[in-house]
A and B are shown apart, each in its own frame.
Chain A
């Protein structure tokens, strides 16, 4: 399995009223074919910006890729033309969004919307695209797909709509599927179904998945590798089991401790459920040459305030950006 996506020293800048802020600050990672990679972090840490940056869908005139490269199969897509990007979007890299209730066009039937993607990228005929759309709906377990294909989005439940979104995203068998908090708006039971579905489809098609979430439980369940983001910077990355069992960054540890463990309630000793005090710094503070987590960190010392932490390796697999990583 080769490297499918290689992001190197990516910097994405966002213009705000107070000036330009680096919402993604020197991010590097690799995605192997068929792998599931998870981005974790609080709101406003740059997870969604990373996804939009890869898709070339940063908000016009506000966000831009300032430096770095995104290599898809060796091709730098930060330098690709609009036409080339349109070829890639939906065909090689596709995306599903957080809000299934509003991500479908209300005036077209779901079958038409899926068929549209197929006709655009696979150049299928109308009838063939429709037949394929029905098959896709069936593959994402929409009951009675043949009849359902002519339903309109408002006639479907949230879970069904997210399935339709997945069907549409997977229509052209993309190499990479970016899922931006795909289950945040859904019931817990539906969440589990959606994850199982993604897992099954990944096994069938070999599509690599980039899963963006703030839920450590989700990460533990489906991802192989994870990247923890804080204030636009990568703070820790590595194999999920390594990171979860031995977090090296105080922020990662904090995130893990925030999640209640069902098993813990069965024993006499119950671990205290903690929170990370404070909030993510505002955009104006992004990009400073300090550890941006220092204000919320109980281990912070002078060094943390004076220089941005360098990235250090732990057991070859884990990469951590923290001055005090050894003490966590």
Chain B
């Protein structure tokens, strides 16, 4: 017993048996896991290409998507128009490139809004429990039982089809899922020992919520957010298809919506924007799966 009391004894024995690994942030480990998932890595790469196309595309490919550049319904590949022209003779490729920005922007901002509302509601409910939780979860359930498409259509119809309103409408119907996940994580984590230990060292509630519990609750929220971007893009396309969109702004859904009557005569007018939506949402979904694998400690050993 007494031989342990000298500091040198214990330190040398430990340092000798254990080489000190370089301290890595847990996020770095997760990134390593993510890259190992091939599908997710490829999807992320494609996603980056799409984002770059959205940013650079309209600058490089200068054709205005609203200009009549050629005869209507000219099939893809002819006369230098890679994806053909629509019923007004507008270049579909230009439309898709310009629409990329809008679709991604709507998807991202709707997802951000979803996460913001969902995390706030879920965190308060899961942390304070009691009547706060009762009230917030009843509100969440109220939003959850509303038919989402119908509810968002009502919002857009009431406030007019601008991008802001559409984004808010999507956010307003999507946040309950995030709120429920956040609440569940908070309920689980608040009972863990390190939270009690942190409380025992005098941490305030606000700090406990946002700098102790929230960072540990983030993985499932991040995964949900990635999937949310995809579903928001789909949602926007769905609303556009029904005509609930700003006619002055090109988005993928809007191209499909405006060419809807000619779907049998000139299917390519809806196919190409449809493929753009499909590939983007698929990539977002695969990235979400990859994040799930990377951030889920139970799957780390695989």
Contacts and interface: CB of A to CB of B under 8 A. Distances in A.
B199 A150 contact: no
Chain B interface, >50% SS class = helix
Given A143-B14, A152-B23, A102 B194 contact: yes
A141 B18 CA distance: 15
Contacts of A90: 200-203
Given A99-B193, A105-B215, 17 more contacts: A60-B129, A90-B201, A90-B203, A94-B201, A95-B197, A95-B200, A102-B192, A104-B197, A105-B212, A141-B10, A141-B11, A148-B20, A152-B23, A155-B21, A157-B18, A160-B14, A196-B5
Contact of A143 (B15, B192, B203): B15
A97 interface: yes
A86 interface: yes
A87 B203 CA distance: 9
Contact of A192 (B1, B20, B199, B200): B1
Contact of B23 (A109, A121, A168, A189): A109
A257 to B, nearest CB: 23
B296 to A, nearest CB: 14
Interface in A149-174: 150-152, 155, 157, 160, 165, 168-169
B201 A89 contact: yes
Interface in A67-112: 86-91, 94-95, 97, 99, 102-109
Nearest to A111: B23
A221 to B, nearest CB: 8
Interface of B: 1, 4-5, 7, 10-12, 14-15, 18, 20-21, 23-26, 129-130, 192-194, 196-204, 212, 215-216
15 contacts: A60-B129, A87-B202, A88-B202, A89-B201, A89-B202, A94-B201, A105-B198, A107-B216, A120-B201, A120-B203, A143-B15, A151-B23, A155-B21, A155-B23, A200-B5
A147 B21 CA distance: 10
A184 interface: no
A119 to B, nearest CB: 11
B7 A144 contact: no
A89 B204 CA distance: 11
Contacts of B12: 143
A141 B23 contact: no
Nearest to B27: A107
Contacts of B5: 196, 200
B10 A120 contact: no
A107 B26 contact: yes
Contacts of B4: 189, 192-193, 196
